[in-house]
């Protein structure tokens, strides 16, 4: 059984979020929560929030025991960019891109995942 949770338009670049996503990919969900709690980065907090949502979906919608869930897939795509201007010297301006991201987590139970890690 696959449980899906998405978090769209996160105000952080995909590159920063992928650093944390690569750490928890393939791990058990409860272990990933402990790992994310010890990482001191904004993106870790955002992914932890999404993982809590995915676990709540599994428990509420499917009555699945949380101990058997693993993170089978997590992927981070870049979202839209907000374009802003930064004033510079002599009347010029530089463009600033405020990037966003879309994160998707797919949890699966060990039986359908093929043994688990």
Q: For the chain, which domains are there?
A: 2-113 (3.90.470.10)
For tokens 């993982």, name the residue: 51
Residue 95 has a pLDDT of 97
* pLDDT above 50 (res 107): yes
pLDDT digits (tens, 9 = 90+) for 2-48: 999 999 999 999 999 999 999 999 999 999 999 999 999 999 999 99
**Gap between the Cα atoms of 43 and 39, Å rounded:** 9
Residue 105 and residue 5 in contact, taking contact as beta carbons nearer than 8 Å: yes
Residue 30 and residue 116 in contact, taking contact as beta carbons nearer than 8 Å: no
The H or E element spanning position 98 is strand 93-109
Residue 35 and residue 23 in contact, taking contact as beta carbons nearer than 8 Å: yes
């Amino acid at each position: 059984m696959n449980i899906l949770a998405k978090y769209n338009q996160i105000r952080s670049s995909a590159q920063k979020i992928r650093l944390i996503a690569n750490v928890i990919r393939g791990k058990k969900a409860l272990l990933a929560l402990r790992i994310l709690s010890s990482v001191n980065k904004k993106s870790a907090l955002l992914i932890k929030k999404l993982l809590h949502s995915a676990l709540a979906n599994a428990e509420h919608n499917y009555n699945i025991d949380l101990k058997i869930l693993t993170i089978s897939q997590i992927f981070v795509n870049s979202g839209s960019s907000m374009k802003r201007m930064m004033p510079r010297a002599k009347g010029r301006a530089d463009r600033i891109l405020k990037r966003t991201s879309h994160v998707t987590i797919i949890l699966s139970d060990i039986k359908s995942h093929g043994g688990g890690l």
